[in-house]
Amino acid sequence: MICVVSVIKYPKYFGFFGVLSMALFHLPLFFNKKISFYKLMGTGKNGSFDIHPDWNQWVVLIILNDELEILNDANRFVKLQSMKGSFINAYLKFFNCKVENIFMKPLVSHGTWDGKYCFGKDLIRKEFQGKIAVLTRATIRFNRLKNFWTHVPKVNEKMNENEGLIYSIGMGEIPFIKQATLSIWQDEASMKNFAYQQKEHVEVIQKTRKENWYSEEMFTRFEVIEII
């Protein structure tokens, strides 16, 4: 399977149509047989992990069934356009949106997303050499929202200071409650250095376990195929 994260930027003053797209895109994605799983999400301010939303930036995450169809096609962007369907393509073109597509192949995955093992159950592959992406997502318990929003954004700030980080974005399906982070690293060593050596990150991970912040969580590591 192939996961594609499309980060969509609407022009200034067109943020309302980004909000509207989160309702309109459900139907064509739901009935698209080439897509096994999808999520429509907003982002934090300036794409960061922020409690304040960025009304002009939105995310579409899809998992494509036919891995070979994408991997063997030199022009993946054109293939992706056809897979998303004419309505979504026309909508984004009409509003002159900037779209960044991140093509990824899952390497390791634990946990569920809305009760689904969308990348397979306990997927484990050998270590990978090259650019690597990490997607973490969680449903936060209501009585732990304050703990989460007090600590996690600070960790995100520290992450952006790490050498080897190429890109990161904070996103979510439901404001404040269902949150996710996607980060892309130069290599696995850079990612692990942050995950296991960065003091603030290690402390927050320990707190999440000890205080049981999440009712559901998922962690997935990817090979980055291409960013278009």
Q: CA–CA separation, 145 vs 147, rounded Å? A: 5
Judge residue 132's burial from the number of C-beta atoms within 10 Å of its C-beta, 0-12 exposed, 13-18 middle, 19 or more buried: buried
Q: Could you give the residue range(s) of every CATH 3.30.70.100 domain in the chain?
A: 2-103, 107-227
Length of the chain counted residue by residue:
228
Q: What is the 3-state secondary structure (H, E, C) of 92-112?
A: HHHCCCEEEEEEEEEEEEEEC
CATH of domain 2-103: 3.30.70.100
Give the residue from 69, 62, 70 showing the smallest Cα distance to 29. 62
| Average of per-residue pLDDT values in the chain | 86
- Residue 72's pLDDT is what? 60
Name the pTM for this structure: 0.89
pLDDT single digits (tens) 133-169: 999 999 999 998 888 888 777 777 777 777 888 998 9
Q: How confident is the model at residue 193 (pLDDT cuts 50, 70, 90)?
A: confident
Secondary structure class of 170 (helix, strand, coil)? strand
pLDDT single digits (tens) 35-80: 999 999 999 887 777 778 899 999 999 998 766 566 666 667 777 7
Give the residue from 149, 147, 119 showing the smallest Cα distance to 221. 119
Confirm or reject CATH 3.30.70.100 for domain 107-227, answering yes or no.
yes
